[in-house]
């Protein structure tokens, strides 16, 4: 009888959520809903038949902090995260500040941003660069996965059946250098859009860590190439910066990008970011 009707569940706890989800395994999670209703201008929204709204689950909204990590609940809104201020790593703060507009950011959640099935949205590149980890739960299991392993180069994120993103764990490290660029022709992240995130830090004039990620329709990251300039002195020698760009040029030569133009723009950004370390 239940199956004949549209249903909206609004659980107040994770056990309640998983109980509803096991009865209606086709139910779709509704967090801020901004992605689910995007592009619908009519009076009546078209929504999946069964929905599970996450908004009443207190545990999913929480922030907590230790000396080394910031944990962000999956249903924290982008505005709430921005309001954390200076504690937020610059790469993520800038990505969130450039996402949509304040009205959308008041509703949109970080969990919905990360789990969007059609492409990697704007917080994803900085989360990968920052080595964020994601906590995923089902009714019977819980696991942590790095943001970079959560998404393949192309295609939807690697969420299992009836698996929920519950928390995002951000390492609280200091970065001395941050290049953030949002590419795209429209405000909305389309196929030609992507976010580029390049962060680096130095100790006593030596590059001690470098991380780069590019995410949109495709996810590009290579720790081996990042590592090629770690340990070099600053300012970086131009020939090392050139070698870094050349390695990327070779690495993406055969890679699938939505367009040749986007690949060229990616390589230009790599060049700008790494030559910025030569100044
Ligand atoms: C006008 C407009 C402009 C926008 N501009 C931007 C932009 O500039 N940059 C950008 O990145 N995005 C943009 N968006 C898209 C969207 O607002 C964001 O990606 C937002 O963060 C999605 O979060 P949400 O909570 O609204 O997701 P929802 O719509 O609730 O969910 C999105 C998807 O994730 C799944 N999901 C949600 N939470 C979880 C969870 N905890 N675990 C597992 N699956 C989950 C849902 O089932 C759904 O498939 C825009 C949207 C609109 C309407």
Q: Which atom of ligand 1 is nearest to the CA of 159?
A: 43
ipTM field: 0.99
58 belongs to a structural domain? no
57-81 burial: b if 16+ Cβ within 10 Å, else e: beebbeeeeeeeebbbbbbbbbebb
193 belongs to a structural domain? yes
Q: Which atom of ligand 1 is nearest to the CA of 121?
A: 11
Q: What is the pLDDT of residues 249-277, one digit of tens each?
A: 999 998 889 999 999 999 999 999 999 99
Q: Is the CB of 99 under 6 A from ligand 1?
A: yes
79 belongs to a structural domain? no
For residue 267, report the distance from its CA to the centre of ligand 1, in Å: 28
Q: Which atom of ligand 1 is nearest to the CA of 109?
A: 25
- End-to-end alpha carbon distance in the chain: 69
Q: What is the pLDDT of residues 153-190, one digit of tens each?
A: 889 999 999 999 999 999 999 999 999 999 987 777 88
69 forms beta bridges with 171
CATH number of residue 239's parent domain: 3.30.390.50
Q: What's the structural domain count of the chain?
A: 1
172 belongs to a structural domain? no
9 belongs to a structural domain? no
Q: Is the CB of 30 under 6 A from ligand 1?
A: yes
253 belongs to a structural domain? yes
Q: How far apart are CA 145 and CA 151, in angstroms?
A: 10
Q: How would residue 235 be classed by pLDDT, with cut points 50, 70 and 90?
A: very high
Q: How would residue 122 be classed by pLDDT, with cut points 50, 70 and 90?
A: very high
Q: How far apart are CA 97 and CA 108, in angstroms?
A: 12
215 belongs to a structural domain? yes
162 belongs to a structural domain? no
Range of the domain at 204: 177-278
Q: Is the CB of 164 under 6 A from ligand 1?
A: yes
């Amino acid at each position: 009888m239940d199956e004949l009707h549209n249903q909206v569940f609004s659980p107040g706890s994770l056990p309640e959520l998983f109980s509803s989800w096991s009865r209606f395994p086709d139910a779709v999670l509704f967090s801020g809903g901004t992605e689910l209703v995007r592009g619908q201008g009519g009076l009546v929204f078209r929504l999946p038949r069964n929905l599970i709204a996450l908004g009443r689950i207190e545990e999913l909204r929480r922030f907590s902090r230790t000396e080394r990590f910031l944990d962000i609940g999956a249903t924290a809104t982008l505005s709430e995260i921005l309001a954390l201020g200076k504690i937020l790593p610059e790469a993520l703060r800038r990505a969130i500040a450039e996402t949509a507009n304040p009205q959308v950011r008041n509703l949109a959640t970080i969990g919905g941003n990360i789990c969007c099935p059609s492409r990697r949205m704007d917080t994803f590149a900085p989360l990968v660069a920052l080595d964020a980890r994601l906590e995923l739960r089902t009714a019977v299991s819980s696991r942590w996965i790095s943001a970079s392993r959560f998404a393949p180069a192309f295609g939807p994120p690697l969420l299992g059946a009836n698996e929920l993103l519950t928390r995002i764990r951000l390492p609280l490290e200091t970065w001395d250098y941050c290049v953030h660029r949002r590419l795209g022709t429209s405000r909305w992240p389309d196929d030609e859009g992507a976010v580029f995130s390049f962060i680096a830090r130095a100790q006593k004039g030596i590059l001690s860590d470098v991380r780069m990620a590019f995410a949109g329709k495709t996810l590009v990251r290579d720790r081996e190439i990042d590592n090629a300039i770690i340990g070099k002195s600053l300012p970086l020698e131009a020939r090392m910066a050139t070698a870094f760009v050349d390695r990327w040029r070779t690495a993406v030569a055969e890679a699938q990008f939505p367009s040749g133009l986007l690949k060229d723009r990616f390589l230009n950004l790599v060049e700008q970011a790494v030559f910025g370390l030569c100044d």
